[in-house]
Structure 1
């Protein structure tokens, strides 16, 4: 088991920071485990032992970067909350860095664990908005409905059919979800 602090956390943070810095300086294509290890002040064997290979390390960094830093903004009603969140989600995930993080998160985790973690991040954000709607006594779909009817189509379009995937598209998905009978 990995301890949730101490040396393990310091190593993870220094390695993640090294990856982010090196990607900015030399590009993702030039990254190697020895280069990251030297920048982070650890041995390459530390990286191989903890992450396995460069793809798994990049995947771990991507998942950390895809974690939302703040709860979704409260706009006072569910339609506005979900619409603003979906537009921002689409904008972030479809940006060149967002697409690179998505690729890395999926590529370095063949068992789907990192994809599951990214899905959990979205579900947590959605749950916050839905709980606020319920507290305001607004009708609200469940988390799975939002994942299936808003998040999944956005992700599909980003990955496979990016043309025409814009704020208008995100607004349409939310409107269709909230119009549909429960």
Structure 2
């Protein structure tokens, strides 16, 4: 079995190495910022050889992209509470916890920094947004199947996700539960009456 095949196998040493390297990248981004560390720094922090990182990821940019996409897409699973309002509130609260956690800001900054690092960074941005859109669409599709009239994905991004990200990136006032719920409420109130179902009304 060659190294590439071994790297593709889930679990075992390969999974431990991947987790250690991802954690090392996240820690270094938080401590030093984007562009202030090398593959050697990551390897030393993760306790692996430089060659292991190059063999598995090929380049620093590929590794950083993998970390950003894996961490951001894995942290906010789509809820299924039985109502659109409940799903949006639960999801928004999960995103708020994610980006204000000990690693959330570092990963968010890494994702933004990658968009200015050439074509690979732009692809990382597109992949991340594409995955977020796909997951949000699955939540909104469930609402349609229940007879509700959900907003568009872009409305969710504009009215809920963007304000959360901006507040965290610029160190604005904290993301309190009332603030997060208020974003959801304003989005639902902005929907035309013909597209909105009151929570107490049967589906």
When normalised by structure 1's length, the TM-score is 0.76
CA contact (8 A) 2:39 2:50 kept: no
| Secondary structure of 1:76 counterpart | coil
Q: CA deviation at 1:149?
A: 1.3
Residue 181, structure 1, aligned to residue 191, structure 2: yes
Residue correspondence of structure 1 range 107-126 to structure 2 within 5 A: 107-110=113-116, 111-126=121-136
Alpha-carbon displacement from aligned partner over 1:17-55 (angstroms, at most 9, x marks no partner): 23245469xx5258642354473455178269722x3x6
Residue 83, structure 1, aligned to residue 89, structure 2: yes
Tell me the equivalent position of 1:134: 144
Tell me the equivalent position of 2:64: 58
Structure with larger Rg: 2
Residue 18, structure 1, aligned to residue 20, structure 2: yes
- With over 3 angstroms needed to count, the CA separation of the structure-2 counterparts of 1:140 and 1:90, relative to structure 1, is same
Residue 46, structure 1, aligned to residue 57, structure 2: no
CA contact (8 A) 1:22 1:36 kept: yes
| Secondary structure of 1:67 counterpart | helix
Q: CA deviation at 1:69?
A: 6.2
CA contact (8 A) 1:34 1:44 kept: no
Q: Which runs of 5+ in 2 are unaligned?
A: 193-203
Farther-moved stretch of structure 1 (152-161 vs 109-118): 109-118
| Secondary structure of 2:20 counterpart | helix
Residue 97, structure 1, aligned to residue 126, structure 2: no
- With over 3 angstroms needed to count, the CA separation of the structure-2 counterparts of 1:89 and 1:6, relative to structure 1, is same
When normalised by structure 2's length, the TM-score is 0.69
Tell me the equivalent position of 2:5: 6
Q: CA deviation at 1:84?
A: 0.8
Q: Which runs of 5+ in 1 are unaligned?
A: none
